[in-house]
Copies of this chain bind each other. A is one copy, B any other.
Amino acid sequence: MRIILCGFGVVGQSLVKLFDSRSEDLYAKYGLKPRVVGVFDSKGSAVDSSGLDLQKLIEAKKKSGTVKNYSDTKNSMSGIEMLKHVEADILIETTASNYKDAEPGMSHITTAMKKGMHVISVNKGPLALAFPSLMELAVYNQVMFKFSGTVGGGTPILDYAKNSLSGERITSFAGILNGTTNYILSNMSTGLSFDSALKDAQSKGYVEADESLDLDGLDAAAKLVILANWVMGMKVTLPDIDCTGIRKVTTDDIKKADKNNCSVKLIASCDGKLVVGPKEISNDDPLCVNGTLNAIAFTSEHSGTQTIIGRGAGGIETASSILRDLLDIRQEIART
């Protein structure tokens, strides 16, 4: 399968390493032979329609911070140009999430779909701003659109809700969907002030370059949009979320909660209304996880409430979710 990879940060590099280290196993077990024919990062591109040398690609990126120097030609094709001119079967979109206009991810995805390419996105921007219309575009162009890695990183939350619970009606859900704010709130409960806890999280590399994405709840809200559309069949986008971040949470709030055997968590919930905001939840609730963990509780008609807990995003976790999507697409193609 010929792949164009847009974005070559931590996730893209982890994915390429995964392809490289598991190539034999992927072919033997799943008949999957991923051939990366084009990679685009913010400074340039690398293209080879017979398949790029993955180790050489990693080295070029490591050496000069871009894939542009993969070959002597110093390719400076943009992502859009590459999608238009290089033949491929699948776009893997891993550029940074942007909640203003969702670019450049949005153009990458729509261009690929219009060319009849299947799309895997771990970029949440286009989904948060245009989930319903992107799904329509995929149906119209008869391509598959997968995005397992956008919620829960390596923890297959979307798949669980959709497939494992098939035949069941999910009536509501609530989750801790952003590991960074959960880490900060967990640390505040041990006595740290908001500012110290934020600094600690930053020093560990947990906070997005644009800290507002974490602290003002945008990342959690984007994930809530994706869940609401995918799991509940709603047709909503980011402006439909009532969203409050954690900047105003004080150590006093946390102490008060603690007296009731509760903790303050940034909860994204879908229960009639779509809300992201700080909320007291009982320490005995399985949802009440600490550190950078994510957790989500689905309440279903017949099977009660089921909670899934796992690590949130991380390079290798997200890469493994992309691989899962790729295997799904491979299987679906084999079937038809």
Question: CB within 8 Å of B: which residues of A?
Answer: 18, 30, 153-156, 159-160, 163-168, 284, 286, 289-290, 293, 295, 300-311, 314, 316-317, 319-321, 323-324, 326-328, 335
CB pair A154 B302 closer than 8 Å:
yes
Shortest Cβ distance from A112 into chain B, in angstroms? 22
CB pair B320 A155 closer than 8 Å:
no
- A167-B324, A303-B320, A304-B310 known; 16 new pairs, CB 8 Å cut-off, are A18-B302, A153-B303, A154-B303, A155-B306, A156-B165, A159-B163, A159-B164, A167-B323, A168-B324, A286-B289, A286-B293, A301-B320, A302-B316, A303-B317, A306-B309, A307-B307
7 tightest Cβ-Cβ pairs between the two chains A and B: A154-B303, A302-B320, A306-B310, A156-B164, A307-B309, A304-B311, A286-B309
Residues of B within 8 A of A319 (CB): 302
**Closest residue of chain B to A328, judged by CB?**
B166
CB pair A303 B309 closer than 8 Å:
no
Residues of B within 8 A of A290 (CB): 284
In the complex, A324→B302 CA distance in Å?
Answer: 12
Residues of B within 8 A of A293 (CB): 286
**Closest residue of chain B to A290, judged by CB?**
B284
In the complex, A163→B290 CA distance in Å?
Answer: 27
- Known contacts A293-B286, A308-B308, A309-B286; A327 and B166 CB within 8 A of each other: yes
Residues of B within 8 A of A300 (CB): 154, 320
Interface centre among A155, A293, A326 (most CB of B within 10 A): A155
**Copies of this chain per assembly:** 2
CB pair A168 B320 closer than 8 Å:
yes
CB pair B311 A309 closer than 8 Å:
no
Residues of B within 8 A of A328 (CB): 166
- Known contacts A154-B303, A309-B307, A317-B304; A327 and B289 CB within 8 A of each other: no
Residues of B within 8 A of A301 (CB): 320
Shortest Cβ distance from A292 into chain B, in angstroms? 10
